[in-house]
Amino acid sequence: MINNGDTCQSQSNISEDVKQKIEWFDHYEKYGKNARLTCRHFGISPDTFYRWKRRYDPQNLSSLEDDKKNRRPKNLREPITPLHVISRIEVLKEINPAWSNGDILTQLKNEEVSISCSTIGRIMKRLKTSGHSRKHTTASEVRNKRGKKATRHDYDKPTGYDEYISLLKLWKG
């Protein structure tokens, strides 16, 4: 039994990590509160020792438990993309479902919106995970009448494509 003031806990309930940290603090107390000596003896960094020393409560051994599930930073960065740009990206993807992020970037640059291709990808991912964006069709998902995957030119021809083909046929004679 380990007796720490008011609480009395059996060693079978204590994890190996907590037992190791208790050894650190026993050694620290035994050798005149010499933290550097303790760190050298156990092969740990001073930053690690002082972090656990700050958390350590002798009345509560659970203070030495490492909560690996809760390591999220307290302050997360928030996206700073203006709402009108996000809505414009969503509209462009709905109108042109087979457009890549690069195609959307080109259109936004024509509209004099300054944004990177990776930011467009992050916005699309965020819209997809939040459920604000419905599933968009991609070139690989479009199928022709026989059930085979259609090639890009079967459904997403740029404007003037038919005129261009007819001119090529005329020139070739």
| DSSP state string for 73-92 | -SSPPPP---HHHHHHHHHH
Q: What's the pLDDT score for residue 97?
A: 86
Residue whose entry in the numeric block shows the structure tokens 């809760």: 70
Q: What is the pLDDT of residues 29-45, one digit of tens each?
A: 999 999 999 999 999 99
Q: Assess contact for 59 and 99: CB atoms under 8 A.
A: no
Residues 6+ apart with CB under 8 A from 86: 123, 127
Residues 6+ apart with CB under 8 A from 31: 37, 38
d(CA 29, CA 23): 10
Q: What's the pLDDT score for residue 6?
A: 42
Q: What's the pLDDT score for residue 116?
A: 94
> Helix, strand, or coil here: 149?
strand
d(CA 37, CA 5): 27
Q: Assess contact for 21 and 44: CB atoms under 8 A.
A: no
The amino acid that residue 78 corresponds to is E
Q: What's the pLDDT score for residue 157?
A: 52
- What phi and psi values does residue 7 have, to the nearest 5 degrees? -100, 145
Q: Is the pTM of this model over 0.85?
A: no
Low-confidence ranges of the chain (pLDDT < 50): 1-8, 154
